[in-house]
Amino acid sequence: MTTTSIDTLRSEVAALIVEALNLDVQPQDIDPQAPLYGDGLGLDSIDMLEIALVVSKRFGFQLKSDNENNQQIFASLQALTEHIAAHRTQ
């Protein structure tokens, strides 16, 4: 995937997160490297489930709660975007 398309996908994922969780932040203001969980955006496990649901609907693959790699997948906006880029079906 080219840098431009990863940047575009990251913007789309950020917008999905903001919309799904009604966050009081602009998608472009989310630091791609900042943690999504805890200190970064301050999201919790319920938020992660909501993100997994909207990602599954939008990109056509399941993010399962029992995936042993979830900590890495949801580590940051960048990590989530790279995972989506590698696994998306739509």
Task: Return the number of other C-beta atoms located less than 10 Å from residue 23's C-beta.
Answer: 17
Count of domains for the chain: 1
Can you tell me the distance from the alpha carbon of 87 to that of 28, in angstroms, rounded to the nearest whole number? 23
Task: Please report, as a single letter, which amino acid is at residue 46.
Answer: I
The pLDDT of residue 31 = 95
Residue 58 belongs to a domain with what CATH number? 1.10.1200.10
Show the domain range for 59.
3-87
pLDDT at 54: 96
Looking at the chain, the whole-number percentage of residues with pLDDT higher than 90 is: 80
**Is 3's pLDDT higher than 80?**
no
pLDDT tier for residue 42 given thresholds of 50, 70 and 90: confident
Give the count of alpha carbons within 13 A of 22, CB side only. Answer: 0
